[in-house]
Amino acid sequence: MLLPTCLCLSGCKSDQRISPPKDRADEIARITEVKELTSILSEDPLALNRAAAALALGRLGDEQGVEPLIAALGDADAAVRRDITLALGQIKDWRVTAPLCGRLLHDNIADVRRAAARALHDSGDRKAMQCLVEALTDPNESVVYNAHRALIALTGRQDLGRSPSQWEGLIESE
């Protein structure tokens, strides 16, 4: 589909056309240059492409992708924020914990909060335990489930249930 390049009522030539943003997710998934992926993440107008760039950065696991991913966590599109959180969990860098905890506790979309709990699980950083305990009170069952599973994995202990008070006692004793 071609769109007109101008919105004026007069003076536009009927043959002035531009193409809409192109879905390049498959192409982006094959890119291995961090700089190119971060450029797509920050500049591409299509959310699907930004999400694909985030996931590709996560698969690369390169520390150079951490700061651009963190900077993009404020993306207006929830699917992009979700994929950024998952990508950050794959990189295993100490800088990801605080921004992921922020998404876990404050994002208004449950799917993003769930992904943040999963990413904190994947990151393996025990510093995330306090925010995971706080997430046990989330109104969304999927978020609570993922926070609970992350706590079990991070502590290496048996299941203490979904009561925050049980986990708080463990965190205080360590």
pLDDT of residue 21: 59
CATH of domain 24-91: 1.25.10.10
Output the CA–CA distances (angstroms, integers) from residue 122 to 92, 106, 107, in the order listed. Answer: 8, 20, 19
CB 138 within 8 Å of CB 144: yes
CA 165 to chain centre: 28
Neighbour-count burial of 128, counting CB atoms closer than 10 A to its CB (0-12 exposed, 13-18 middle, 19+ buried): buried
Residue 15 has pLDDT above 70, yes or no: no
DSSP state at residue 45: S
| Lowest mean pLDDT across 7-11, 83-87, 101-105, 139-143 | 7-11
DSSP state at residue 21: P
CATH of domain 113-174: 1.25.10
Q: In this predicted model, what pLDDT tens digit does every residue of 50-71 receive, in sequence order?
A: 999 999 999 999 999 999 999 9
- Say how far apart CA 133 and CA 160 lie, in whole Å: 11
Domain chopping of the chain, boundaries: 24-91, 113-174
Say yes or no: do domains 24-91 and 113-174 share a fold.
Answer: yes
Q: In this predicted model, what pLDDT tens digit does every residue of 120-147 receive, in sequence order?
A: 999 999 999 999 999 999 999 999 999 9
How many of the other CB atoms lie within 10 Å of CB of 129?
21
Neighbour-count burial of 13, counting CB atoms closer than 10 A to its CB (0-12 exposed, 13-18 middle, 19+ buried): exposed
